[in-house]
């Protein structure tokens, strides 16, 4: 094993025990085995999923219809960047890394054995070990973390500062959602929700050169950032009838692609009424509770194509490139940088959303 000198044996880290029960504790610094990588965490983002987990959403803690996804006690954090501090035997060769490199592991560590991994669809891996939720993959809200041998690791140029590099994971997700939309040059595209993912989707969708790109959000200041990301038109559903406005712009047909990323049930229903017949609806939200819609609209009325979206499937290199080449207004998107000890304050900012977009934590 090769390592940078001065790695401590202990570190401060956040531990999730239950909804609303996140504690800052002293933890052991992970040790690395064959083909494993230890990184000093330099920044970690708070995802809307992290905030919903903290709030007790059934997706993470289970209910009568599903098993719990979160496996406490666990160090949370799946949007991260780190500096390589130690390399287990074979890790340098496997991942083309050197000590001191800036590197990111994709948020899922696939098993590489299940049906989906064997088909190359690793983002749907059956065991589905996501950093920050499963015992096999503790997360990044700590001084150090370990990238296990099954990880998919990418080196990140040091020209991308850590607080920006923490946005690679959500941007990779945004790019995947845009790819699921199969956007064509003639399409009118709507992105509903201008949080971190939505703004990344606007920036990525712009690179597909659609006929018109429309962004929706309840906050005008976020819509201003959407314009910087490439939106041609921005609309506030709290101030106008967005369905009528989009239909007015499209000779009454509606949009061709609707990407839903607000996590609001209202946005789902709105999209079904706004979208044109034979349109493509992409859903990329984590909802706090179940959402019901009129499925007749999807089938007999409009014959829509419905795509879900999950994680950033084969899109990390593009996300890294977009950040390195300054292809989106990242300093407008990252609204807050807080010390790791302010994790609960950060989660509260994410949950309120009126004052924040992307909140990034910096380990002390």
* CA pair distance 333, 196, nearest whole angstrom: 7
Other beta carbons within 10 Å of 22:
20
Mean pLDDT of 243-255: 98
Cβ distance 363 to 42 under 8 Å? yes
Residue 142 binned pLDDT confidence (cut-offs 50, 70, 90): very high
- Domains along the sequence of the chain with CATH: 2-155+329-362 (3.90.180.10), 173-308 (3.40.50.720)
**Residue 143 phi, psi (nearest 5):** -65, -35
Residue 287 has what pLDDT? 75
Buried b vs exposed e over 121-150: b needs ≥16 C-beta within 10 Å? ebbbbeebbbbbbbeebbbbbbbbbbbbbb
- The CA distances from residue 289 to 52, 230, 335, 351, in Å, are 10, 32, 27, 15
* CA pair distance 23, 252, nearest whole angstrom: 53
Residue 352 binned pLDDT confidence (cut-offs 50, 70, 90): confident
* Locus of tokens 């920050």: 132
pLDDT, tens digit (0-9, with 9 covering 90-100), for 15-48: 999 999 999 999 999 999 999 999 999 999 999 8
Q: Please determine, for residue 66, whether its predicted confidence score (pLDDT) is greater than 80.
A: no
Task: Give 217: exposed, middle or buried? Use CB within 10 Å, 0-12, 13-18, 19+.
Answer: buried
C-alpha closest to that of 20 among 51, 54, 49: 54
Average pLDDT in the chain: 95
Q: Please determine, for residue 313, whether its predicted confidence score (pLDDT) is greater than 80.
A: yes
Residue 353 binned pLDDT confidence (cut-offs 50, 70, 90): confident
Residue 162 binned pLDDT confidence (cut-offs 50, 70, 90): very high
CA–chain centroid gap for 194, Å, is 13
């Amino acid at each position: 094993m090769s390592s940078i000198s001065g790695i401590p044996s202990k570190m401060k880290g956040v531990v999730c025990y239950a909804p609303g029960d996140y504690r800052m504790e002293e933890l052991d610094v992970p040790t690395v085995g064959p083909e494993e990588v230890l990184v000093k965490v330099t920044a970690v983002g708070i995802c809307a999923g992290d905030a919903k987990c903290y709030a007790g959403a059934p997706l993470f803690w289970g209910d009568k219809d599903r098993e719990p996804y979160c496996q406490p006690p666990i160090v949370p954090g799946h949007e991260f960047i780190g500096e390589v501090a130690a390399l287990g035997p074979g890790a340098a060769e496997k991942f083309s890394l050197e000590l001191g490199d800036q590197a990111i592991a994709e948020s899922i560590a696939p098993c590489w054995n299940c049906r989906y991994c064997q088909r190359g669809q690793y983002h749907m891996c059956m065991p589905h070990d996501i950093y920050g939720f499963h015992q096999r993959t503790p997360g990044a809200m700590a001084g150090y973390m370990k990238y296990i041998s099954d990880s998919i690791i990418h080196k990140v140029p040091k020209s991308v500062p850590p607080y920006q590099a923490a946005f690679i994971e959500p941007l990779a997700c945004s790019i995947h959602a845009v790819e699921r939309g199969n956007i064509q040059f003639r399409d009118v595209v709507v992105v509903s929700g201008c949080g971190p993912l939505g703004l990344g989707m606007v920036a990525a969708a712009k690179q597909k050169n659609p006929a018109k790109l429309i962004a929706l959000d309840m906050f005008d200041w976020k819509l201003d950032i959407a314009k910087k990301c490439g939106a041609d038109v921005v609309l506030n559903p709290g101030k106008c009838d967005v369905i009528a406005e989009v239909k007015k712009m499209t000779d009454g047909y509606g949009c061709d692609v609707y990407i839903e990323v607000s996590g609001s049930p209202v946005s789902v229903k709105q999209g079904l009424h706004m979208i044109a017949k034979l349109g493509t609806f992409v859903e990329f939200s984590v909802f706090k509770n179940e959402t019901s819609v009129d499925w007749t609209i999807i089938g007999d009325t409009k014959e829509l194509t419905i795509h879900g979206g999950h994680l950033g499937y084969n899109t990390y290199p593009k996300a890294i490139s977009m950040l390195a080449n300054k292809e989106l207004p990242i300093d407008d998107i990252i609204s807050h940088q807080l010390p790791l000890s302010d994790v609960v304050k950060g989660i509260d900012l994410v949950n309120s959303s009126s004052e924040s977009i992307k909140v990034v934590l910096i380990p002390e």
